[in-house]
Structure 1
């Protein structure tokens, strides 16, 4: 019988960038995370002494990550519907990215990482978080997971990562290159979280 790994969770630091890039790209596709964008993303998750980015380790191996942007530190773009959100934008964090190593899925790591980020975002006055959920994840598992946590669908946006694949070199593993995947714009009201 295989024993459960010894998991521990901690905030992300700059020293974690290389490992975060490797895991993020292993799960989401080549060039999804790069040295440049991880540095930018890291800054977006820091506010008023709070760090919204969390990592999960099994012993010394990075096995999960949750990148979250602080309120006011992420763009409200054409893939967002603020008039449909249950809270004002300044009360909303942005769940940018989650990745769990395939060998460690099903252990509750994603939920624990989400919970840590929500605690930090709540301390900044957030009442909800927004995410663009990858509809083409294997068996639509990302959408199912976020829905089980309390996420509510706002809208679907085809070709959400098309420009990233054309302009930034992102290689979508589902589309075999140029990405045409759909993003589900979802809001997770903190008072409805099911963790």
Structure 2
């Protein structure tokens, strides 16, 4: 490989860029999960999306919406993935994918999602420390209910009930915080 090729492959990402990409990960994963329906496939495509975003960082217009740009890349990566997986009988048809994209943007505009995410962060802070730890173990660390139950010396059913109650509390808190804010 010559020097000019090596220079092109050397990528210099700013801290701001890395933060944007990191903050976008949960939304991108949710977007992919909704369209692919399989967590393993969604994670695989997310890695491809991240590679394209990093590779094409210099093409991003700083005056535009990073998340919208990332979602556009994700859409193309979904299409590429589906093309590779076209023999799989559980692939969503392209028209269904387009309908899901349209409905998603109508039902969940970026500003609404941002407000709900901010409300969730505020609501998580209001939980008792043991409740927050339980949420982190289950959803951030992806521990199974059974393993959490073993650690707490409780039944899996008891942990499921505790998680259900915490989720209900979070939903009520998020709704109370977002319902008072005007939607645009």
TM-score bin, normalised by smaller chain? under 0.3
Larger radius of gyration: 2
> Where is the helix percentage greater, Structure 1 or Structure 2?
2
> Where is the strand percentage greater, Structure 1 or Structure 2?
1
Kindly indicate whether structure 1 or structure 2 has the higher relative contact order, using CA contacts under 8 Å at least 6 residues apart.
1
